[in-house]
A and B are shown apart, each in its own frame.
Chain A
Amino acid sequence: MDKIPILKMSDFLLVTIQVDLYDQLAENLESDLINMVKKYNSHGVLIDISAVSIIDSFMGRILGNIAMMSKILDAETVVVGMQPAVAITLIELGLPLKGVHSALNVEKGMALLRSKIHNIEQDISIPADDSSTE
């Protein structure tokens, strides 16, 4: 059975999809990824789809699901390296992938994830300070 590797890098999880996804593989990826997020308490998921040439409505939904599930577990999702043809297809299908952040390449995706997590930590730290002074 094929499996898509999920790499852990400090606070983040990296997924590089190098094959065209079929439905079973995508469903497995979804559950594997969520389990990994829980296991390592990750704050960010970066999915590289630069090698994916076909994304249908099912795949679009899986990506959306991953983003929503990660959000519940307090992790941000960034999809990087989407090909123009894939972007056009998704828009034509009426799937703007709400809740998924996008970046042009892995480098920018990492920067985006870091800034998101940084913002969240700042937000949390302020009320924490307030409570300590009381």
Chain B
Amino acid sequence: MTTKNEALKALQKRKKEVLEQWMKNQLEDEGLRNNLISDEDQQQTSDELLNLLLAALNDSSIEDVHSRDFEKVLDILSGISISRAKQGFSPRETGVYIFGLKEALLTTLQKDMKDPAQLYSESLKLSKLLDNFAISSFETFIKGREEVILRQTDEITEISTPVIHVWDGVLAMPIIGTLDSARTQIVMENLLQEIVETGSSIAILDISGVPAVDSLVAQHLIKTVSATRLMGAECIISGIRPEIAQTVVHLGIDLSTIITKATLASALKSAFSMLQLEVSKSKINSIPLAAR
């Protein structure tokens, strides 16, 4: 590409120099961990980015940071930022990457251009351009991190509401973590769906993994129990810790309409008696445990 701008000419001529300087800047930074990405990979992506940037730079685009010529550069840059966010790079490392390029470009420019006024104006334009790149790469970096967080939140809600088929006609659902409206909805839906599928008539909600029960959580529990009853099944709440019993009473929440048990074992026992089942020791070959 032919250009009248002397600065751009100089940069295109000294591309290799810029790249070397940039890599040096990156490696100099103390915070850089080279265990996340190999030097060769780093060199390759940097080279690609620099090529694209220099190809996009021309007399008009250098004036306008939002020029369409930079679309490809921004694409590559956001790709790098997102993959870095997922690999667990720190924001500082990503920042150093872009600002290292800026420094390398400006240093190279300084060597070639002797007229201070011209050097200053060209540097200003380049700075503006690269700052804009840095901002957009930060935006995508944070977006990448947010995606990771969102995925993890989804996974937590997914794995934290399993329905266990304990016995013929008895389901158990251990709840782990705080019960908010959104989770209650998921818990309720999963439980009711499973009740329909298995035709179970008793469901046990174990709340030993719920850190605190306030009036809202209690409200959610009562809702779940009422919905189960509407379906025609009975719901037992188990795993109530002494502290939770205390708070419930102090808050004046009425749980008398709900069957509550201290442990999952006693809930299962009462489920058996509701189903008119009996668990007994087998009489044949009954060697006492201590004698073995």
Contacts and interface: CB of A to CB of B under 8 A. Distances in A.
Interface string B48-64: 00000000000000000
A127 interface: no
A110 interface: no
Contacts of A4: none
A96 interface: yes
A97 B226 CA distance: 10
B33 interface: no
Contacts of B230: 82, 87, 90-91, 96-97, 102
Given A91-B223, A104-B199, A104-B201, A84 B192 contact: yes
B18 interface: no
Contacts of B189: 84-85, 88
Interface string B171-197: 000000000000001001100110110
Contacts of A21: none
A23 B239 CA distance: 44
Given A84-B192, A88-B192, A108-B201, A96 B231 contact: no
A109 B231 contact: no
A105 B198 CA distance: 11
Interface string A89-127: 011100011000111110011000000000000000000
A36 B230 CA distance: 25
B231 A84 contact: yes
A82 B192 CA distance: 10
The DSSP consensus for interface residues of chain A is mixed
B229 interface: yes
A102 B226 contact: no
Residue from A84, A90, A109 with most neighbouring chain B CB atoms (10 Å): A84
B209 to A, nearest CB: 23
Contacts of A85: 189
Interface string B230-255: 11110000000000000000000000
A79 B229 CA distance: 11
B226 A96 contact: yes
Residue from A82, A85, A101, A109 with most neighbouring chain B CB atoms (10 Å): A82
A87 B231 contact: yes
A17 to B, nearest CB: 16
Contacts of A80: 232
A104 B201 CA distance: 7
Interface string A55-91: 0000000000000000000000001101111011011
Given A87-B227, A91-B223, A104 B193 contact: no
A91 to B, nearest CB: 5
21 contacts: A80-B232, A84-B195, A84-B196, A84-B231, A85-B189, A87-B192, A87-B227, A87-B228, A88-B188, A88-B192, A90-B227, A91-B223, A92-B223, A96-B230, A102-B230, A102-B231, A102-B232, A104-B199, A104-B201, A104-B232, A105-B199
Interface of A: 79-80, 82-85, 87-88, 90-92, 96-97, 101-105, 108-109
